[in-house]
Amino acid sequence: MATQWHELGNGNFALTGGSNIGVIVREGRAVIVDAGLDKDAAKKALRAAEGTGAKVAALVITHGHADHFGGAGWLAQQAGIPVYAPPLEAVFAVQPLLEPLFLYSGAAPITELQGKFTLARQGVKSITPLETGPQEIAGIPLDIIPLPGHAPQQIGVGAGDTCYCGDGVFPDETLERHPILFCADMDAWLATLERFSTLHYTWYVPGHGEPLQDIASLAERNAARLREIRTWVWESLTTPQEAHDVLHDVAARYGVTFAAPQFFLLALTTIHAALTSLQIAGEAAVEIAENRMMWRRV
């Protein structure tokens, strides 16, 4: 995918295309936000960051998905820099096999989950756990913003007037192309999306797509999609169903045809997240009936 270098002003930059990478430059030092899918993506980011005249001093990973940290192992080694990530997300970047493992219920993953979108080619040797809140990283003042939902401990990085959102919010193209957004925790993500309207940055850089200024309406379109998925999951339970059948129904609503098992499994996680949300709200319950794990309305 073609990459594009954006100068957002005040020392904030973004390299977009595929998975976006942020570059924050202050007084000759740079912090990179996310490392892209692989070594090639990370190499472009390193070159672009150094092109500003700054010395790259640290890497922050917003969440433990391979398309965002796949290049991190190489980047950390090449630039000799420390890597920071929220504790739960860091585990995935240190042990890349965990992502395909969890997508496959903890079992040795099928071949289809071993592509570099779900299995990074190189892990990061060591990561410093990142707490949320204002702090300095490599001497640069940043605000680490909790944006849980898409991933359990997803964070965003606030730098001056720019917020690097990771996958805390998806652009309209993604809503269009992947209607069943990958979601780990539906309630947490809905709360996160509501919080976007209380942030006051000039620029927002989502993990995919172009930088934008009006985040509140995009966040609302993401929230509307999640609420719609949740409703359609509930509607699918007119008769008790297994999660796989619920996914089949919801995919039909969106006219989605899964091209391969990995896409089915990614969407299944979102269905599980919706079912958990319904269980917590007392709207659905799960039970074993004739050795099937059946979900029903309450």
Would you tell me which residues interact with Zn ion (CB under 5 A)?
65, 167
Q: Name beta bridge partners: 29.
A: 26, 55
Q: Is the CB of 208 or the CB of 230 nearer to Zn ion? A: 208
Looking at the Cβ atoms of 167 and 185, the one nearer to Zn ion is: 167
Nearer to Zn ion, 38 or 167 (CB): 167
CB 21 within 8 A of CB 36: yes
Min separation Cβ 167 and Zn ion, Å: 4
CB of 67 to Zn ion, least distance (A): 6
Residue closest to 235 by CA, chosen among 151, 296, 144: 296
Find the shortest distance in angstroms from Cβ 148 to Zn ion. 12
Q: Minimum distance from CB of 201 to Zn ion (Å)?
A: 20
CB of 224: closest distance to Zn ion in angstroms?
A: 20
For Zn ion, the closer CB: 65 or 230: 65
Specify whether the CB–CB gap between 181 and 268 falls below 8 A: no
101-to-7, 107, 112, 127, 265 alpha-carbon distances in Å: 38, 6, 12, 21, 11
Which tokens belong to 5?
Answer: 């270098």
- In the bound state with Zn ion, the residue whose beta carbon lies nearer, of 79 and 181, is 181
| C-beta closer to Zn ion: residue 3 or 269 | 269
Q: Min. distance of Cβ 100 from Zn ion in angstroms?
A: 14
